[in-house]
Structure 1
Amino acid sequence: MNNFSKKGLAAILAAGVLLWLSTFILIPWAAQRLAELSAYCNGDILTDRCYQSLVIYGSIGDMFGATAALFSGLALFAVAATLWIDINARREGRKPLVISMLDQESILFKNPSIKNGRELTISISLALSNQTEEAAINVMTYGQLVSEGSTETFGPSHLQAPIIKGPSESITIEKTINGHNLDKFLTKLTEQGCIFLELITSYESLENVKWSTRTTYILTSNDTTSTKRLNAIRSGITEDEDFEVLWGNKAAASLTSDVKEGSWRHQREE
């Protein structure tokens, strides 16, 4: 039950209690008023004032009838609200959980170029797995590379079919990076630093409730050969090996990925 539902039920309950408590003040006041008016009705003569007092008695009775109707309406509203909350709780309870998984060959830098400005393509291969029996539809993944204020957004990439618990599904995202952002990323990776990869997987349940799973990976270049290749892009040439030798035969630079502690998130999307 969400906070709005809790506040709504609390407001209904508070209003009913306040209305019920008000009768302890209203009934004694009405009784006193009736006693004062009854003095006009002594004897057999129906005076105008006596007639007016009788009309007032009827109005007071109608007032309590309206109060009863109000309580009946509040009760009906409470039942409807409870049913609505229960239906929504059931819809939200049927939620898939799709997670993304990377291995040590999942993130590659490839297709370098230094002739007309430096550029490099990052390729991210994901394995998407549904951890529940609830089907996930319209599954797509997108992400961001982040390093000290430099952000590169890529994706989304879509799965062609829904997924349920069982074998994982593969998905690949690629993005060509150049300019200032590429300089920032290469500097961090070649100087034994790290950059961050935030992956967001968005999907829907069969009840059309939207969910997303987020996690952040720490990317480093711990392989000597990969670091040399990245340095070749950064500087144009290394000290002892030229660019063509390092990047020949469609070579690629791989990155090591580790999940950032406490970065997993699973939430409903509005």
Structure 2
Amino acid sequence: MKKLPTISVLLTAIILWCAALIIVPSMTQLLTKLNCESLKEDQCQQFISTLGSTGDIFGAVTSLFSGLALFAVAITLWADSNSRRESRRPFLMAELNSDSLELSSPIPTGEKSITLKANLSISNQVDEAAFNITLKSILKHQGLKLQLPHAHLAFPLMGKASGEIKLDCPITGGHFNNFLSQLTSGNPIELDTEIIYENIEGVKWTTSAIYELTCTHTIHRNRLNAARGNNEDFAKQWENDPAVPLSPAPKSGTWKHSKS
């Protein structure tokens, strides 16, 4: 259906061009006959010369339109090539669940810290291959942001395949106090994820989403509180080096997919 207007325009242009080959000579002969009947021979020759000069002007106009047509063809070919490159669009998604996100190994003295560990499953939702896959992520709450190290998938995703990217990042200083305070109060912090990848033509695409992370169980909140307080309860709560799982939930309206 999309090709129909283009074919119609092309056929119309061909018809008009062919008609001009018949109409223009006919009109010239008619004008010459009508005017030369009432003119002397030298005046008739002058009239014919005037028609010739007028025809030369139309020749220049024709050259102008030919140049514009060539330019239009070049633009069309460029747009078609660009459209073909962008039509090969992989679509990756990052998936998190409670078994893949945890806080562990707290250090309650000095510069307090705790380690965030996450396993993100990266899956391709379409048949187009995705290359050079990079995950950028940020932990944030009320303007406080912690940029996590960029992580890469070691292999491309060919078609509807999946892979796993692991994050292992310490949370220290003001981030430690702020984030743990929110989690132990039952409030969420946010994990902003952005996956950047390329299609086979080298065009870059991005899929992004924000997850809200919460600590849902009282026993786990108490464990985080013990890490914050550095009191006698710490050794009891953290003996045998346990981990505190976090529950991720995609934040409504944050899924985006676009060309980088």
Partner of 2:222: 228
Name which of 187, 202, 207 aligns with 1:208: 202
**Does 1:258 find its partner at 2:249?**
yes
Deviations 1:208-234 (A, max 9, x none): 000010001011110122211211122
1:161-172 equivalence runs, <5 A: 161-172=155-166
Partner of 1:7: none
Supply the AA of the counterpart residue of 2:177: D
Counterpart contact for 1:139–1:203, Cα < 8 Å: yes
Q: Give ranges in structure 2 of 5+ residues lacking alignment.
A: 1-38
Name which of 125, 132, 137 aligns with 1:131: 125
Q: Give ranges in structure 1 of 5+ residues lacking alignment.
A: 1-41
Partner of 1:195: 189
SS in 2 for 1:233: helix
1:1-270 equivalence runs, <5 A: 60-237=54-231, 242-269=233-260
TM-score, structure 2 length as denominator? 0.78
Counterpart contact for 1:146–1:196, Cα < 8 Å: yes
SS in 2 for 1:267: strand
SS in 1 for 2:98: coil
Give distance in 2, aligned partners of 1:172 and 1:263: 22
Give distance in 2, aligned partners of 1:64 and 1:171: 67
Counterpart contact for 2:108–2:229, Cα < 8 Å: no
SS in 2 for 1:227: helix
Partner of 1:3: none
| Count of residue pairs brought into register by the alignment | 222
How much is the aligned-residue C-alpha RMSD, in angstroms? 2.3
1:54 CA displacement: 9.8
Supply the AA of the counterpart residue of 2:245: S
1:67 CA displacement: 0.8
TM-score, structure 1 length as denominator? 0.75
SS in 2 for 1:162: coil
